[in-house]
Structure 1
């Protein structure tokens, strides 16, 4: 079964950040030191959506990973209401 872009975006809320990091690596001949900002951004994204997933799961909200259409609204709500710690 091959994933479409829509499926990939649904399953991976950080698809854009992931693709940007891959593009940076390709552009810079896989020199990781030139792409650290992209890796950091991707990791921040994964941490954020991991917290959303955990919070929704613990509250019994389904789906645990919000639908693509709802993510921007949820991101705004979390930014306003939730403290993030390392």
Structure 2
């Protein structure tokens, strides 16, 4: 892409194009710069040709996939609730302290279970999702 008379606008467009290319979409951006003699504030960026490059889950790292797995992460519901609260409240942490405490208590509880199983020699150290469900039903939800 060549920058002519409108260098500032061209820099912004280059940044936009690189941002879009690094995200979920491949972009075939059609850029039309106004004539030098016309109003320079008109910049048309047609984004009609965005095509998803990958499915969301296939782009996740191996670590992120593990965190979304119910068998590995016992506090997935609390994680999602905390994230939703933060999104809903414009990332104001003071509004989501209850969710943070629930998540923290969940992690403490399952860490204690995991350490107890490790000391007892039980494998796997973290119970599966089915086992965790049975534990919670027998104890009531402790967190």
TM (normalized to structure 1)?
A: 0.80
| 2:108 paired residue among 26, 47, 58 | 47
Unaligned runs of 5+ in 1: 81-86
More helix by share: 1
CA RMSD of aligned residues (A): 2.2
| 2:132 paired residue among 71, 77, 86 | 71
If asked which structure has higher relative contact order (CA below 8 Å, sep 6+), I would say 1
Tell me how far apart the structure 1 counterparts of residues 85 and 106 of structure 2 sit (CA, whole Å).
Answer: 17
- Greater Cα radius of gyration, structure 1 or 2: 2
SS in 2 for 1:38: helix
Instruction: State the match for 1:18 in structure 2.
Output: 79
- Please give the per-residue CA displacement for 1:11-39, whole angstroms capped at 9, x wherever unaligned: 11001001100000000000000000000
More strand by share: 2
| Shift in Å, 1:75 | 3.0
Q: How many residues align?
A: 79
Unaligned runs of 5+ in 2: 1-60
